[in-house]
Amino acid sequence: MERGFTGLTIEGIAQRAGVAKQTIYRWWNSKVDILLDTLIDDAREALEWRTDESASAEENLASHLRRVADFFEEPAGQVLRALLGQAQLESDTAVSLREGFLKEQRERDVTGLRELLAHDHEPVVDERTLDHLVDLLLGPLYYRVLVFGAAIDQELVDTTARLVLTLARESSSASP
């Protein structure tokens, strides 16, 4: 991240790691592959869903969103931002990012929200609604960071958590 995406080279990575360039190519085909591998490892723990038994569903959801917001400020979050930018320009990067990290993280987010709702005896929602709720949960954060390049404040986190839970309750009461 010191040099930006375009300044990052396999040669530079090899030099910094103190290995030959061929060693890097033995494990990865491109700098995108290297960044994706590190992103997956770093994000797994940083974006993990956790439940505090003494907290409400809204507090637990806001806590998770705060971790997402904090992640965007960390080096791994900056890697994600760089890869998302590159994915707009290069279809191979887009496919790798979507079929790898983003798909896995999406599955963790759907599972995490489902378990949070069940744990806190919130309404049970169907899978399609759950999928939409994840969009509504994370969309504002990604929009704030990726479109406006602005930090995610606590008000956005709290409002988003509250609104998603309200929609979950409303969608379950509207179901036949």
Interhelix angle 31-46/57-73, nearest 10 degrees: 150
- Please report which residue ranges of 48-122 form alpha helices under DSSP H: 57-73, 75-87, 91-97, 103-119
Q: Single out the residue of 99, 87, 100 nearest to residue 39, CA to CA.
A: 100
pLDDT band of 9, cuts 50, 70, 90:
low
* Residue among 109, 104, 103, 84 at smallest CA distance from 94: 84
48-79 pLDDT tens trace = 999 999 999 999 999 999 999 999 999 899 99
List C-alpha distances in Å: 9 to 21, 122, 164. Answer: 10, 48, 41
For 14-36, write each residue's pLDDT tens digit.
677 777 777 766 777 777 788 89
- Are 134 and 113 in contact by the 8 Å Cβ rule? The answer is yes
In the chain, what are the domain boundaries? 30-174
Write down the CATH number for the domain with range 30-174.
1.10.357.10
Tokens of 83: 């890869």
Alpha carbon separation from 135 to 12, 52, 113, 144 (Å, rounded): 37, 23, 11, 14
